[in-house]
Amino acid sequence: MKTYIVTGGAGFIGSNLARRLIKEGYKVYIIDDLSTGFLRNVPEGAMFCKADISDFKQLQMIELPDKIDCVFHLAAQSSGEASFDDPARDIDVNYKGTYNMLKLAEMKHSQRFIYTSSMSVYGEVTGMNIYIDETYNCTPISYYGSNKLASEQVISLYTRTSTIKATIFRLFNVYGPGQNMLNMKQGMASIYMSYIMNNEPILVKGSLERFRDFIHIDDVVDVLIHSEGCPETYGEIFNVGTGLKTTVSELLRVILRVYNKEEFDQWVICSGNTAGDVTGLIADNNKLRNALKWNAKVNIEEGIYKMKNWIDETMEWWRN
């Protein structure tokens, strides 16, 4: 039986990944400090280890087997906006934490290290081409994006002199069941749905013509799991997105339609903007599709509908 570490396993993407790995029969150790995640997200069957990845001494104290097959490093401060509130903490978690996990992976004889980076490394896209491939010049405009890019570089440097084979995935706008509906600084879809959940008008910070590449959590987990044993992904960086453009206005209309809210002007208020925000960019995902023979399966309408059902089922979590 293979044994994996999932950092951030009490959070959104990590808990969904850990749950799928356990379902497929693998042994999973979750490392999370619960600063943004929830203990209730930790799936049954996982070994939970509370630790701050920015503190290597805490990581050394965790009781782990001598051999770990793969480290899925997902733990992060994942908000561009929040990174302006505490840049030093963003550096600790996103950059220093990545270096610490590389050291732990090597200490535990792991041959694989899978890292979830972000579309934020690209920054604001200029010119007419909004479809961005992995060779596009990275000029991040938030501390979050800067530290994600720095983490990519430290992974590349570290693995040159180790036996670890790393893969980096630049995630675009991931959404779906498991998001923190109380976090109003991360996740466009979850933020907007949180307003409707509380029967309040949606506050939109920025233009309705901004656009994103929304990808459902199930599709992201498929990529992470299938890449672990795929040699074509070793040492590579991939965009993870659908390749489809959705404007903020279109997203809002899908959400209102799913919630049976007909009056757009009644339920949407536009005011202000968000620090570190961009107009938009879309993933050129050809490299990923070719390497994994993968295609996104969940469209935005289906994904928002699934997310609403999950919110309805977990309403007591967000009301207490």
Tens-digit pLDDT string for the chain (320 aa)? 899 999 999 999 999 999 999 999 999 999 999 998 999 999 999 999 999 999 999 999 999 999 999 999 998 765 545 556 667 878 888 899 999 999 999 999 999 999 999 999 999 887 777 899 999 999 998 888 999 999 999 999 999 999 999 999 999 999 999 999 998 888 999 999 999 999 999 999 999 999 999 999 999 999 999 999 999 999 999 999 999 999 999 999 999 999 999 899 999 999 988 776 778 899 999 999 999 999 999 999 999 999 999 999 999 998 75
Count CB-CB contacts under 10 A for residue 264: 13
Q: Which of 136, 105, 94 is nearest to 239 (CA)?
A: 136
Q: Which of 210, 284, 216, 194 is nearest to 249 (CA)?
A: 210
User: From 1.10.1670.10, 3.40.50.1440, 3.40.50.720, 3.40.640.10, which CATH number describes the 3-175+215-240 domain?
Assistant: 3.40.50.720
How does DSSP classify residue 84? T
Q: Give the integer Cα–Cα distance in Å for 19 and 23.
A: 6
Distant-in-sequence, close-in-space partners of 37: CB < 8 Å, separation ≥ 6: 8, 9, 10, 11, 12, 14, 15, 180
**pLDDT of res. 289:** 97
**pLDDT of res. 91:** 85
Q: Residue 282: in which H helix or E strand, if any? A: strand 282-283
**pLDDT of res. 105:** 98
CB 166 within 8 A of CB 235: yes
Q: Give the integer Cα–Cα distance in Å for 149 and 138.
A: 8
188-212+244-280+298-319: CATH topology is UDP-galactose 4-epimerase; domain 1 (3.90.25)
Residues spanned by CATH 3.40.50.720 within the chain? Answer: 3-175+215-240
Q: Give the integer Cα–Cα distance in Å for 17 and 9.
A: 8
Distant-in-sequence, close-in-space partners of 14: CB < 8 Å, separation ≥ 6: 6, 7, 8, 30, 32, 37, 72, 74, 75
Both tokens of 316, joined, read: 């007591």
Helix 300-313 × helix 248-258 angle, to 10°: 50
What is residue 111's three-state secondary structure?
Answer: coil
**pLDDT of res. 92:** 86
Both tokens of 311, joined, read: 């919110």
CB 232 within 8 A of CB 291: yes
**pLDDT of res. 77:** 62
